[in-house]
Chains A and B, each alone.
Chain A
Amino acid sequence: MANYSTNEFKAGLKVMLDGDPCAIVENELVKPGKGQAFNRVKLRNLMTGRVGEKTFKSGDSLEGADVMDLEMEYLYTDGDMWHFMKTDGSFEQYAVEKKALGDTVKWLKEQVPYIITLWDDKAISVTPPNFIELEVVETDPGLKGDTAQGGSKPATLSSGAVVRVPLFINQGEVLKIDTRSGDYVSRA
């Protein structure tokens, strides 16, 4: 991979830092009027998802990371690995480890497209769509007449996620959920 110098650091650029692939979130020049220039760089570690700040001397460089985001549909799990297929018509499949799947494990639904991040052609993270429709498989019976306000209750969804839903929701209903916050949005 090519090397990138601090002046080429832009949001979204993927670089290697301490052995992990990272995405640059922000890059700011810090320079006293009479002194050495530095770059304060915010990076997201693509393995852990953590965002941290680092300082570089202006002109320092980092090796680029061979990282790609690809859209793939979820197929199935064999218990050890989770299998996805590219949506570009190639039918090419990728097996994803539990570690790379992370929290997304609770938002899995067959035939839904996810963004798989590949590093050196290996899946390192899976991002669900912002909104997903899932069926309620277990919740206390709905309260008639309570359609607007008042309270919420837990509901287990077909993907295994447990979310807070309004009291009027019944088992078997399909709900629209915001995967970023885990919040109920509406009936689908």
Chain B
Amino acid sequence: MAIDWQPSASFETLRERARLMAKVRAFFAQRDVLEVETPVLGQGGSTDIHLVSLHTLARTDKGQRRLWLQTSPEFHMKRLLAAGSGPIFQLARSFRDGEIGARHNIEFTMLEWYRPQFTLDQLIDETATLIMSLLPSFPGPPVHYRYRELFHTYVEVDPFTTSLDRLRAIAAERAQMSAQSLADEGRETCLDLLMSVVIEPQLGQQELSVVVDYPASQAALARRHQDADGEWVASRFEVYLNGIELANGYDELTDAAEQRTRFAEDNAERRRLGLPEVDVDERLLAALEHGMPEGAGVALGIDRLIQLALGKARLEDVLTFSTPSC
């Protein structure tokens, strides 16, 4: 059989892609946000239990070391912020093992930016403005939804108070999954399942959808606060268009001790699940101890946004060579 060596994207698409990338850079230049380039390799990696990190062995000044391919440029960019960089953005190659599909590629480009002193609402506005400036037509003004409200509307359960047994039963039914394969799963898996299979496809169809007030357990590297109903929620937002998750923003956690605890909890959970532990990024923790300015940051899957802007069916249609043909 002939080896398929041809590019995944057409040259016309690649020209369009280059034009959109230039627009992104112009957008930030106009706003005095500095473009930076941070390493793909790091001595620490993401402990997030849902991400699978790639790593490699390198001969360094300290001998052979395991270095982690970054799942996003977050840790290095936060060290720049702590060192006093001011607002920064990056178009960063990022790596997440095992993620291949119509909206996923193991190696992809993340547009990530940080805004010291910005509130979450200010960053939501800026994110929506950027997204709309790249789309060929106006998708409709951004509409905000609370995570809880979406579950009431589309699943008729409350993500915070519904019993685990009931959540499992509803998740199995609505997502066409066997009850048995959810039998040992906790609330988070049931909520993730309902969110990704039932709710997400409904979002961003008539407008740009912005989801806020995620459960506190899904905070990752965001602060937590009590919402209007008194529930602890993550100070985090996500943006959806055409049922596709585009961006994920945080009111950034700046507390080094809290961050250390979350990393340790992740690794404890990894041990419990039999997943490999990930080296904690001690340099990030040291930077947070030194002090990172309060502010907000967001990561946006620029390949997906280009895919939507150009009306392409699959992510590989906007990549020179997708992972299956790299």
Contacts and interface: CB of A to CB of B under 8 A. Distances in A.
Interface of A: 7, 28-38, 40, 52-58, 60
Nearest to A17: B178
Contacts of B104: 29, 31
Contacts, number: 65
A26 to B, nearest CB: 10
A34 B248 contact: yes
A108 B262 CA distance: 67
A40 B197 contact: yes
A30 B238 contact: no
Given A29-B99, A31-B104, A55 B188 contact: no
Q: In which size bucket is the chain B interface?
A: 20 to 34
A36 B192 contact: yes
A56 B172 CA distance: 10
Given A36-B189, A38-B196, A55 B176 contact: yes
A31 B196 contact: yes
Contacts of B50: 31, 34-37
B40 to A, nearest CB: 19
B98 interface: yes
B261 interface: no
A152 to B, nearest CB: 38
A57 B181 contact: yes
Nearest to B195: A32
Contacts of B100: 29
Given A7-B98, A55-B177, A56-B177, A36 B197 contact: no
B101 interface: yes
Contacts of A29: 99-101, 103-104
7 contacts: A29-B100, A30-B196, A32-B200, A33-B248, A33-B299, A34-B248, A60-B181
A55 B174 CA distance: 10
B18 interface: no
B252 interface: no
Interface string B178-212: 00010001001100110111001000000000000
A72 to B, nearest CB: 28
